[in-house]
Amino acid sequence: MKCMHCQGEMERKTAPFSVDRNGYHISWDNVPAWVCTQCGEPMFDTDAVDQIQKGITAMENETPELRAIG
């Protein structure tokens, strides 16, 4: 597989992923990904993206309750 950014070779590794949204920050350190050996750009497969989206959705569902506490 080739990198979409630099056309380098991709290899299976892990990569960090983080998102800032609605007043909170979520970070994962080791998400399975294809990572470019040349530029380091990660590409997450469908399963990883689905799990990330589930985590974000879970946090969004809890955020209103966390704000009500403060």
Predicted confidence (pLDDT) per residue in 7-54, tens digit: 999 999 999 999 998 778 899 999 999 999 999 999 999 999 999 999
CA angle (4 as vertex; 47, 28 as ends), nearest 5: 40
Torsion, Cα of 29, 51, 54, 15 (10° steps): 20
pLDDT at residue 38 in the model:
97
pLDDT at residue 31 in the model:
97
- What average pLDDT does this structure show over 52-63? 88
pLDDT at residue 69 in the model:
56
Q: What's the CA gap between 22 and 64, in Å, rounded?
A: 10
Q: For the structural domain made of 10-69, what CATH number should be given?
A: 3.10.20.860
pLDDT at residue 7 in the model:
96
Largest CA distance in the chain: 49
